[in-house]
Amino acid sequence: MKVIHAAIVKPGTTLVNKTGGWRTFMPECNYELCNGCGICETYCPDSVIVKDGDRYAPNLDYCKGCGICANVCPKDAITMILEGK
């Protein structure tokens, strides 16, 4: 008989395990270029971009650095930079 091991975790554990620590590149926003369209928020697969006043800002505690926000931004307001630079 084949034994399958699976991990079951409690709900909400991603709030504890800050997934931003896996990142190699991080998004950097130029708010002078940003027009506040919110497209980056819509496309972020981890829903970590939040509206902060007139701005949209990634929560870097959870951003995985995929770069999708930078690719979809119509104003080229987001640049992916090496973590720690």
What are the residues binding ligand SF4 (CB under 6 A)?
Answer: 27, 29, 34-40, 44, 46, 48-49, 56, 58, 63-69, 73, 75, 77-78
Specify the residue, 16 or 54, whose C-beta has the smaller distance to ligand SF4.
54
Q: How far is the CB of 10 from ligand SF4 (least distance, A)?
A: 23
Which of residues 1 and 45 has its CB atom nearest to ligand SF4 in the complex?
45
Nearest distance from residue 46's CB to ligand SF4, in Å? 4
Helix (H) or strand (E) holding 40: helix 39-43
Residue with Cβ nearer ligand SF4 (48 or 82): 48
Minimum Å gap between C-beta 70 and ligand SF4 is 7
Report in angstroms the alpha-carbon separations of 57 from 3, 32, 85: 44, 13, 19
CB 11, CB 46: distance < 8 Å: no
Nearest in space to 77 (alpha carbons), one of 50, 60, 63, 56: 56
Rounded to a whole number of angstroms, the CA Rg of the chain reads 16
